[in-house]
């Protein structure tokens, strides 16, 4: 038996299992956190923005919120969109890049102003640094303490009621959105009358629905679902190690299968 080959295979399997275990830990403990710099910073924020059910804490260092791949659109989207349950720590330096795409420092200040306008839980640290990670590295422990300061309490959108957005002129103070029903193929043309009843059309099904002001008029065949719109009692729960491994073993098997020929030829 070639002991060097056995040793190499064991190292490969150990590495694969370590990666699997790491991703499982991320799934259980790190689903609400995103941390990165440069393009990674805007990617971390985008992940939280698109999927706040999975990512809610963002450390953004020298974030590229300028005219590259639409990064400059985020401040406007933040101002126009109802607040999401996200907490953000922004870092940048006054001598960051300033080129054809824009000023990184000015863009990060635009992000801060937009987040504050929309009522987000946000803080910042501006330095004099250039486009590097030195300042962010020094701040990282402080940023983690601030982002996770009240864990496991959930992060709530506009928790302090500080949003200046127009949408809060029509929402009931202290109330959240409620699901009326599910099962529609379309929800078009929403309209309300003086009695507070809402109507909308499900054109593909040739139906017009009414939701009463008392919330008691959804069609009887529709079942209310959770606030995330998933209707899954397991939604948001951490997966077990073995549930994750069931899929991860496939990745491991493929990895071993692809590398085995190389190892055989090499050793």
Residues 75, 110 contacting (CB under 8 angstroms): yes
Lowest mean pLDDT among 69-78, 132-141, 153-162, 174-183: 174-183
pLDDT digits (tens, 9 = 90+) for 71-111: 999 999 999 998 999 999 999 999 999 999 999 999 999 99
Q: With helix as H, strand as E and coil as C, how does the chain read?
A: CCHHHHHHHHHHHHHHHHHHHHHHHHHHHCCCEEEEECHHHHHHHHHHHHCCCCCCEEEEECCCCCCCCCHHHHHHHHHHCCCCCCEEEEEEECCCCEECCEEHHHHHHHHHHHHHHCCCEEEEEEECCCCCCHHHHHHHHHHHHHHCCCCCCCCCCCCCCCCCCHHHHCCCCCCCCCCCCCCCCCCEEEEECCCCCEEEEEHHHCEEEEECCCCCCCCCCCCCCCCCCCCCCCCCCCCCHHHHHHHHHHHHHHHHHHHHHHHHHHC
CATH numeric code, 31-167: 3.40.50.1820
Q: What are the pLDDT digits (tens) for 14-36? A: 666 665 655 555 444 444 555 44
Average pLDDT over the chain, rounded to an integer: 77
pLDDT at 264: 66
pLDDT, tens digit, for every residue of 160-170? Answer: 888 998 877 77
100-139 residue pLDDT tens:
999 999 999 999 999 999 999 999 999 999 999 899 999 9
Bridge-based pairing of strands 87-93 and 102-103 is unpaired
Q: Contact at 8 Å (CB) between 156 and 168?
A: no
Name the residue ranges covered by the structural domains of the chain. 1-30+242-267, 31-167, 181-211
pTM score, two decimals? 0.61
**Among 253, 233, 231, which Cα is nearest to 9's?**
253
């Amino acid at each position: 038996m070639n002991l060097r080959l056995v040793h190499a295979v064991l190292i490969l399997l150990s590495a694969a299992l370590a990666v699997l275990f790491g991703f499982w830990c991320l799934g259980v403990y790190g689903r609400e956190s995103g941390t990165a710099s440069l393009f990674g910073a805007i990617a971390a924020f985008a992940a939280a923005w698109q999927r706040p059910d999975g990512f809610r804490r963002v450390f953004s260092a020298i974030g590229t919120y300028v005219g590259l791949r639409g990064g400059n659109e985020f401040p406007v989207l933040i101002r126009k969109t109802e607040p999401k349950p996200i907490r953000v720590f922004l870092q940048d330096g006054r001598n960051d890049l300033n080129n054809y795409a824009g000023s990184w420092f000015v863009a990060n200040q635009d992000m801060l102003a937009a987040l504050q306008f929309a009522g987000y839980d946000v803080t910042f640290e501006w330095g004099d640094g250039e486009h590097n990670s030195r300042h962010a590295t020094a701040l990282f422990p402080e940023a983690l303490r601030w982002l996770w300061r009240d864990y496991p309490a959930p992060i709530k959108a506009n928790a302090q009621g500080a949003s200046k957005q127009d949408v809060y002129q029509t929402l009931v103070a202290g109330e959240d959105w409620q699901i009326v029903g599910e099962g529609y193929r379309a929800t078009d043309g929403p309209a309300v009358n003086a009695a507070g009843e809402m109507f909308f059309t499900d054109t593909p099904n040739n139906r017009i629905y009414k939701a009463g002001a008392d919330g008691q008029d959804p069609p009887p065949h529709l079942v209310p679902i959770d606030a995330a719109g998933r209707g899954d009692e397991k939604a948001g729960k951490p997966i077990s190690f073995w549930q994750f491994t069931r899929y991860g073993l496939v990745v491991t098997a493929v990895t071993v299968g692809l590398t085995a020929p190389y190892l055989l030829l090499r050793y």
